Structure 1
C-alpha cells in the first residue's frame, strides 16, 4: 500500500475510541474494535484500505501479507493444492486465535469486503478457498494445534492443521480421531464436507464423530455448538451445511484406540481391469461386512492400484479374499504390519506439487459391478485424448450401508443418505497448461453428465453428491433432499441474519446458489 494511504489510516485510527462494547445474547461477550468502525466509515469499497486496517489490527509477524511482500506472500498463496486455485488476493490474513478471526470478520463485514476462507487449501475449485485482487483471503493455517483432553477421550483440533500433524500427535498415545486418509490434507475442509476415512465402516464419516464445534459467527460472536446445548441446531447444520453459518475455528473430536494395521499395496495390469472391478464388487458384497477392513482404489492408465488395510496386525485378512484370488499382481511394496503413520508415508507420496492443476467431480449410485465397468469405460473414452501434460485418475469409493446408519446413530447429519451399499466417485484430471482450463472443465462436466445418465438408465443413480470431491457447478446442498435443504436455509438465516457469508464469501456450496 502507498505510504500516504497507510499514514492516513493510522491517523484516523488514532482518533477513534478504542472499543465499543456490545453484548451477544447467549454467546461470548466480545468487543467491536475501533478498526471495524474505521473500516465501516472510511474504507467501504476500497480493499487496499481494508487490508491496511487488517495489518494494523493483526500485528503479529506475517499476519497480513500483500503481493508486494514478495516470496513470503507467494509461499502463502501457493499453499493451495491446485495451481488453478492460486489466485492473488489483495492481501492474505492469518489470524492466530479465535478473537483475531472475530476481528477479521468484523472488519470485512463492516466494510462489505469480499473474502474467502482457506484451511488446508486442498479444494480444487478456484474461488472456494481463494480469491483474486478484489478481496481478502482468510488463511486459518495458524490455527493448527492438536490438544488432547485430560481424560484423553477427545481432542481439540484447529482447522488449519494437516492430518499428518494430527496423527503424529495422537498415534504415539495409542489414539486416533476419525479424519483424513492422506497426511497433507487440511482438517477444516475435510471435516465440513463429511470426510471419508479408514474407519468409515466402524465409525461413519469424520463429521459424525465431532463432539463440538467452536465457531465465529458473522457478527463476530464466538460460540461452542454441541448436540446438547443451546446451539444444537448449529451443530446439526455443520454436519452437511459447510460454510453457510460461520467460520469453524476448532473441532472437538472423539478419540478411539488404535494399534497397527495390516497394509498391502498392489498394482495390476490394464488388461485386468474388468476382473479387478469384479473383485472390488465382491469385496463390497462380502468382505466389507468386516468393519476392520478398508480399501482405497485408483484406476490409472497404467492399471488399477489398491491399498488393502485391516485394522489389526495379521498375515492376511479373509475380508480381502476377492483380491487374493486374482491371478497376478505387482506389489507396490511387500505387505507389512505398521502404524497409521506408516500408511500416511505411503499415501502422501501420491500428492502432486509445483504447477500441477487439478479438477474433478463426483456422483453416486447403488453398488453394481456391471455399472462400475460401464462407467469406467465412459471415463477412459472421454479422457483418451487428453493433452500430453495431462493425466486422469478414476477413484471409486465403496460405501457400506453402515455409513448412513452410523450417521443417524451419532446424532444425525444432513446428507440424506440411503441405507444401501453405494459407490461415491472422486475422479480427477491433472494438467499444467492454464490454456487448457476451460477445456478440462467442459470435459469434466461431460463425463459427469454421461455417467449420471448411464446410472439413471439402470435405475441405480443416487441423488447424493459428496461435497469433498464435488465440482464447481454441482448442486451439493440440493442433493441432500428438500427437508435438509430447508433446515440449512433456516439455520443460516438464524446465525447470519445479515447474510454476510452469502453476500461476501467468494465461493463455496452456499445457500445463495440453491
Structure 2
C-alpha cells in the first residue's frame, strides 16, 4: 500500500473508531449518518453551503458533555471537528465539517437572569437571539445581540457581534461580563478577573481557544424604539450615498443605526435600495434619520415604534433561506467618490452572474461600532482610533439556487472585492480590519487584527491548549 493510501486508511479508521468511543462516553448523544436525527440536523443549517456530512454529530446537554467530547478528540489527532451554535454562517468547514465530528451546542440554550442582578442574563451558547429577546421583553429590557432572530448566540458573540444597538453600545462581545469556557484542559470561567487573557482573546477569536458554553451578558432597559425598513428604486443611489456620507461627516449620533443595502433581486429581475434603520429612542421620525426617511421616490415602508424582538423577526423574514451563499467583507472610510466606485464594481459583478436562477446580490454598508477603551477585546483594534466616526463595515452577500454555479459566483465575488479594496486603497480609505462574522472562507480575518494581537493570541493558545487541539483539529478561521 502506498504511503498516501496508508494515510487515507488511517484517517478513515480514526473517523470510524471515534464513533464507538464517543458513544461509550456520551450514550444517546451521538448521531450517525442516515439516522433521522442526523439528517434533520444537517438539513437545519440556514445555507446549503454549510450542509456538510460529518462522520457523526455530538449533541451535548451539559457543559461536561462538551469537555468529554474534547477529551475523546484528543485521542484522535487526525479527526477534524466543528462547533455549531446556530449554524447561520454560509462558510463550509466552520460550523460543520465533512468526515469529522460536529458538536452541536443547540441544547445548551438556557436563558435566565443572574440571581440578584436585574441587568445580567445567563445565556447558553446554543440559544437563538429570538429567545433572548422574547425573555427580556417581559422585563422591559433588551440586549446587544443579533438583528436576526434565528442567529445563534455563541458564534455571534465570539466573532464580535453587530447589533441594532452597536452605534451606542459597541460590539456584542464587549457587553459580556463572563464566559464559561471548555478548554483543552477543562472547564473555566473567563472574565476580567479570572483568566482575563482568555476572556480577551475569545472576544473576536471564535473557537480558537476553547468552546464557550455560556455567556453572562449585560442587559439594558428598552421597551420600544423607532425603526423599520424602506425600499427605494435604484435611481436613488446618489441620494442614498450622500445621506450616508452626511451622516458620517456630521457629529456622531449614537442613536442612529443604519443598514444601507443595494440589491439585485433575481425574482424581480431588478436593482433597488433598502434602508433598515433604527433610532434607539422612543421618538417617531427623528431628525437623525431624516436624511434617509425623506429620500424620494420610495415604496411604502415599515417604520414604527416596536420592540427588539419584532425588529429581529422582521429582518429574519427577509433573509434568503435554503440557498447557496457567500459572505465577504472589508472596512472603508466612506466618501461619496469611494461609495460610487464600490457600487459600480458591485453592480458590474452582479451583472456577470444574474443568469443564475433567482439570484440575490447585496452590497451593505454598516456603521463601525465604538470601542470600550478600558476593556480591550481580541480584535486588535486601537480603541483610540475612533473608527466609528468615519468608517463603515461592508458586507457583500450573494445567494443562489444551483450548485453548478458555485465556483463561478465565488470567483466573480472574490474578484469584485479585490477591485473594491484596490479602489479604496487608492483613496487611502481602506482599513485592514475584517469583521470575522462576515468574512468569506477564503479571507483571513485574524491577520487583520495585527501582529501584536496575533502574538498575544498565540500565547493564550499555548497556555490553555498546550497540545494544540484547537489549532490542529478545530475548523474555521485559524490564528
**Structure 1 and Structure 2 fold alike (TM over 0.5):** yes
Structure 1 segments (4+ residues) deviating >6 Å: none
- Within the candidate set 284, 290, 296, 2:253 is matched to 290
Deviations 1:313-357 (A, max 9, x none): 222101012124423211233x32111122122111112223x11
SS in 2 for 1:173: coil
Contact kept, 8 Å, 1:227 with 1:411, in 2: the verdict is no
Cα distance in structure 1, aligned partners of 2:356 and 2:442: 26
> Which position in structure 2 is the counterpart of 1:38?
none
Structure with greater Cα Rg: 1
Contact kept, 8 Å, 2:363 with 2:397, in 1: the verdict is yes
- The structural deviation recorded for 1:367 is 2.2
- 1:50 matched to 2:14: no
- Within the candidate set 382, 398, 401, 2:349 is matched to 382
Cα distance in structure 2, aligned partners of 1:344 and 1:363: 24
Contact kept, 8 Å, 1:193 with 1:468, in 2: the verdict is yes
Contact kept, 8 Å, 1:279 with 1:322, in 2: the verdict is yes
Matches within 5 A, 1:74-473: 74-112=39-77, 113-133=79-99, 135-150=100-115, 151-219=117-185, 221-229=186-194, 231-286=195-250, 289-301=252-264, 302-333=271-302, 335-354=303-322, 356-386=323-353, 387-389=355-357, 390-399=359-368, 403-404=369-370, 406-417=371-382, 418-420=385-387, 421-473=390-442
Contact kept, 8 Å, 2:201 with 2:377, in 1: the verdict is no
SS in 1 for 2:338: helix
Distance 1:111 1:434, change over 3 A: same
Cα distance in structure 2, aligned partners of 1:84 and 1:414: 26
- The structural deviation recorded for 1:242 is 2.1
- 1:509 matched to 2:477: yes
Deviations 1:3-24 (A, max 9, x none): xxxxxxxxxxxxxxxxxxxxxx
Deviations 1:343-377 (A, max 9, x none): 122111112223x1110211111122221121011
Task: Count the aligned residue pairs.
Answer: 456
Contact kept, 8 Å, 2:83 with 2:103, in 1: the verdict is yes
Cα distance in structure 2, aligned partners of 1:259 and 1:410: 28
Distance 1:416 1:314, change over 3 A: closer
Cα distance in structure 2, aligned partners of 1:496 and 1:483: 20
Q: Using CA pairs under 8 Å that are at least 6 residues apart, name the structure with larger relative contact order, 1 or 2.
A: 2
Cα distance in structure 2, aligned partners of 1:212 and 1:444: 38
Cα distance in structure 2, aligned partners of 1:482 and 1:353: 38
Cα distance in structure 2, aligned partners of 1:482 and 1:43: 34
Cα distance in structure 1, aligned partners of 2:449 and 2:397: 23
Cα distance in structure 1, aligned partners of 2:183 and 2:228: 45
- The structural deviation recorded for 1:43 is 11
Cα distance in structure 2, aligned partners of 1:432 and 1:412: 38
Cα distance in structure 2, aligned partners of 1:477 and 1:120: 22
SS in 2 for 1:46: helix
Cα distance in structure 1, aligned partners of 2:246 and 2:415: 29
SS in 2 for 1:143: coil
SS in 2 for 1:194: coil
Deviations 1:220-268 (A, max 9, x none): x100011122x01101111222211111111111111112111242111
- The structural deviation recorded for 1:308 is 2.1
Contact kept, 8 Å, 1:87 with 1:130, in 2: the verdict is yes
> Which position in structure 2 is the counterpart of 1:16?
none
**TM-score (ref. length: structure 2):** 0.92
The root-mean-square deviation of aligned C-alpha atoms, in Å, is 1.8
> Which position in structure 1 is the counterpart of 2:3?
none
**TM-score (ref. length: structure 1):** 0.85
Cα distance in structure 2, aligned partners of 1:327 and 1:48: 61
Cα distance in structure 2, aligned partners of 1:445 and 1:303: 22
- The structural deviation recorded for 1:442 is 1.3
SS in 2 for 1:479: helix
Cα distance in structure 2, aligned partners of 1:285 and 1:148: 40
Deviations 1:269-301 (A, max 9, x none): 1111111111122122337x2222212222112
Contact kept, 8 Å, 1:259 with 1:311, in 2: the verdict is no
Structure 2, unaligned runs of 5 or more: 1-9, 265-270
Cα distance in structure 2, aligned partners of 1:359 and 1:295: 22
Cα distance in structure 2, aligned partners of 1:44 and 1:232: 39
